[in-house]
Amino acid sequence: MEVAKFHLPRYQNTVKICKLSPTQVNPSDFAIATRFVAMYLFIKVKGSRLMTYQYLTVDMIAAAKEKGGFIDQKTIKTAGKYRFDSLILTDVNMQVLNGYISYVRPLLKPQCDFFLVNRNGGQHGKLGEIMSKLVFDAIGKYTHPTRYRQIVETQDLNQLTSKEQGILSEGQKQFCFC
């Protein structure tokens, strides 16, 4: 999707301002940065359960740097309850996340270890609403979570082998927007 590309310049600008002039950051830019990162994870890393990202911690991401970008499903708080897949963060993914961790998140005065925090420093929730809003802002259409899944599955048919499609389909049986 072009959603990440659409929102990336504003995110990059916010990170730059947070880094160079933290007192000059517009409060709404903090929200935009957090929303961008949540949407980026979902669209660019993995269309996993949104709770996967809601429960990510800064320590998990730091540990992933040491493990080639791998976050094991066993380390995600809700993994036992919801059975989701592990995550693999590429160097590019890490670069985006590091901008948030290093420059944006500290200015939100986090009061918890969760990666995504709101303006009050607490755990960020309502990630499904965030994604829907950013998709609407980028393409002018509301994309329901089920529709997003259909888009992903259609692309899968065009780009994956039958065996790969079967593996992905099995994994998506647990797919939902929580």
pLDDT tens digits, one per residue of 151-175: 666 766 677 677 766 655 554 444 3
pLDDT score, position 175: 37
Tens digit of pLDDT for each residue in 121-136? 999 887 778 777 888 8
The DSSP output letter for 70 is E
Question: Quick one: what percent of the chain has pLDDT higher than 70?
Answer: 72
What angle is formed at CA 114 by the lines to CA 52 and CA 120, rounded to 5 degrees? Answer: 125
Question: When comparing pLDDT for 83 and 99, which is higher?
Answer: 99
Average confidence (pLDDT) over 93-115: 94
Give yes or no for a contact between 83 and 161, defined as CB atoms under 8 angstroms apart.
no
Q: How many CB atoms lie within 10 A of CB 3?
A: 21
Residue 57 has pLDDT above 90, yes or no: no
pLDDT score, position 49: 65
Residue 45 has pLDDT above 90, yes or no: no
Highest mean pLDDT among 17-21, 53-57, 124-128: 17-21
pLDDT score, position 177: 35
pLDDT score, position 109: 94
Provide the token pair at 99.
């901008």
| Full-model pTM | 0.77
pLDDT score, position 170: 52
Helix axes 3-20, 91-99, angle to 10 degrees: 50
pLDDT score, position 74: 67
Mean pLDDT (the chain) is 79
- Strands (E) located in 84-160: 87-88
pLDDT band at 88 (very low <50, low <70, confident <90, very high): confident
pLDDT score, position 1: 52
